[in-house]
Amino acid sequence: MAHQWRGIIAEYADRLPAHVQEKIVSLGEGGTPLVEAPVLSELTGAQVFLKVEGMNPTGSFKDRGMTTAISAAAGRGAQAVVCASTGNTSASAAAYATRAGMLCAVLVPDGKIAMGKLSQAIAHGARLLQVDGNFDDCLIAARKLAETHPVELVNSVNPDRIEGQKTGAFEIVDALGDAPDIHALPVGNAGNITAYRKGFVEYATATADLPAVASRTPAMWGFQAAGSAPIVAGHPITEPETIATAIRIGNPASWQQAEAARDESGGVIESVTDEQILAAHRILSSQAGVFVEPASAAGVAGIISRAERGLVPAGARIVVTVTGHGLKDPQWALRAADGSEVVPTRVGADVVSIADALGLG
Ligand SMILES: *Cc1c(COP(=O)(O)O)cnc(C)c1O
């Protein structure tokens, strides 16, 4: 009989805290495909796999952390949750909160929220408040609201989020049989690089109750967008800019944890330009067959950039986590490499015209 994936809490119950398991709120998240990407292997001289997190229930990895955060909140009898969001956190929080019968308040920064994500939050019944300020201002306000009112904060500063998101690392090791040499991913608020590092370390460490599953941990390679690269710059960015809205964050909440993940794993955190991100986005969709949102392409842009500088070890096994689905922010697919709008060719409704237009003679 086919095995139905049960969601990350049920699948990894022995490696998650008990308090997220009292009242599980799940939409079947996790169990996402690990897809080999020959085009990227060829470009980098490594063996590259993509962890396709757009296949989660609301289309991004945020669901891994939201099932644990909302389950923990439900276990404590919470009635309402709040988050600051560049989009995907609100889409995910709204879905899991409505499933749990809770109110979900969402603080989104002025402008620059991708249409797909906004429509999800609204469809799932979130109370959407557009805040006069950027993401970092929204997070400060959300934190204060949670401190002063009976509302739980479900941003990635909530440790339950990290617990859920670490299961992405477990799945990679389970699929490959051991940890890869390198794990690459985009870095925004830096919760995910923190979570993956935690997952890889836990899987490589035997405890009294659990054996080690991996023999080692991968080097963590994190990539920020050039206009929003505070960790690379070494100071907060007051006006972060990038087309990759999911990582348009000037003062990451998990800054120190991200630096620890980098340093303890022998990794790097670098920046990639919007042009490099869009080029990687195009390679992913037009050659690898994987459609992602722009931020998700930052990890791929990063390994290509490092390969161009001779910084990818030959034959290394690399997993790149591509974090969100292309349908979240589809406008970028409708432009050609030269920036012009792509329009379909008009033809008559006959086979001859159609075959002609396709160059089939
Ligand atoms: C949230 C998000 C990121 C950034 O993750 P952090 O944990 O904030 O570093 C990257 N890509 C997508 C699609 C996201 O939704």
**DSSP result, 62-106:** HHHHHHHHHHHHHHTT--EEEEE-SSHHHHHHHHHHHHHT-EEEE
Centre of ligand 1 to C-alpha 203, Å, is 23
313 alpha carbon, distance to own chain's centre = 25
Asked whether 45 and 318 are in contact (CB, 8 A), the reply is no
The Cβ of residue 263 has, within 10 Å, a number of other Cβ atoms equal to 12
- pLDDT at site 338: 80
**Ligand 1 mean position to 304 CA, how many Å?**
20
Higher pLDDT pick, 13 / 344: 13
Q: Are 333 and 326 in contact (CB under 8 A)?
A: yes
pLDDT band at 333 (very low <50, low <70, confident <90, very high): confident
Residue among 60, 135, 327, 328 to mutate when testing ligand 1 (max atoms within 8 A of CB): 60
Q: What is the pLDDT of residue 290?
A: 98
Distance CA 243, CA 248 (A): 8
Tell me which of 53, 92, 192, 221 to substitute to probe ligand 1's pocket, judged by most ligand atoms within 8 Å of the beta carbon: 192
Question: Ligand 1: which residue has its CA nearest to atom 5?
Answer: 188
Q: Is the pLDDT of residue 125 over 80?
A: yes
Q: Specify the pLDDT at position 177.
A: 98
Encoded amino acid at 216, one letter = R
Check whether 160 has a pLDDT greater than 90: yes
Running DSSP on this structure, what letter comes out for residue 284? I
Task: Tell me what pLDDT residue 335 has.
Answer: 80
Tokens 């009294």 correspond to 208
What is the mean predicted confidence (pLDDT) over 252-277?
Answer: 98
- What's the pLDDT at 113? 78
| 62-84 pLDDT, tens digit each | 999 999 999 999 999 999 999 99
Within 6 A (CB) of ligand 1 lie 60, 62, 88, 156, 186-192, 246-247, 293, 295-296, 323-324
- Burial of 232 (C-beta count, 10 Å sphere; 0-12/13-18/19+): middle
Whether 179 shows a pLDDT value over 80: the answer reads yes
The model's pTM:
0.95
Q: What is each CA distance from 101 to 71, 77, 80, 97, 338, in whole angstroms?
A: 12, 11, 9, 6, 47
Q: What is the pLDDT of residue 237?
A: 96
* Span 196-220, pLDDT tens digits: 999 999 999 999 999 999 999 999 9
Rounded distance from Cα 231 to ligand 1 centre (Å): 15
Least confident of 58-62, 320-324, 335-339, 340-344: 335-339
Give residue 248 CA to ligand 1 midpoint distance, Å. 9
CA-wise closest residue to 192 among 215, 228, 173, 168: 168
Tell me the mean pLDDT in the region 285-295: 97
Whole-number mean pLDDT of the chain? Answer: 95
Residue 18, Cβ density class (10 Å: 0-12 exposed, 13-18 middle, ≥19 buried): exposed
CA of residue 277 to ligand 1 center, whole Å: 14
Mean pLDDT across the stretch 240-244?
94
| CA-based torsion, 109, 184, 174, 39: positive or negative | positive
Sequence-ordered alpha helix ranges (H) in the chain: 8-11, 38-44, 62-75, 88-100, 115-123, 135-148, 159-165, 167-176, 191-203, 230-233, 255-265, 274-283, 298-308, 351-357
- Residue 156 pLDDT: 87
Answer yes or no: are the C-beta atoms of 219 and 265 closer than 8 Å: yes
| Among 112, 247, 259, 281, residue to substitute to test ligand 1 (most atoms within 8 Å of Cβ) | 247
For residues 320 and 35, the answer to whether their CB atoms sit within 8 Å is: no
Establish how many alpha carbons lie within 13 A of residue 350's alpha carbon, considering only the half-sphere containing its beta carbon. Answer: 3
Sign of CA dihedral 299, 300, 305, 308: positive
Q: Say if residue 326's pLDDT is above 90.
A: yes
What is the reported pLDDT for 218?
Answer: 98
- Binned at pLDDT 50, 70 and 90, residue 281 comes out as very high
Q: Are the C-beta atoms of residues 261 and 268 closer than 8 Å to each other?
A: no
Amino acid letter, 4? Q
Of the listed ranges 32-36, 152-156, 161-165, the one predicted with least confidence: 152-156
Q: What is the DSSP letter of 326?
A: G
| Residue 346 pLDDT | 93
pLDDT band at 26 (very low <50, low <70, confident <90, very high): very high
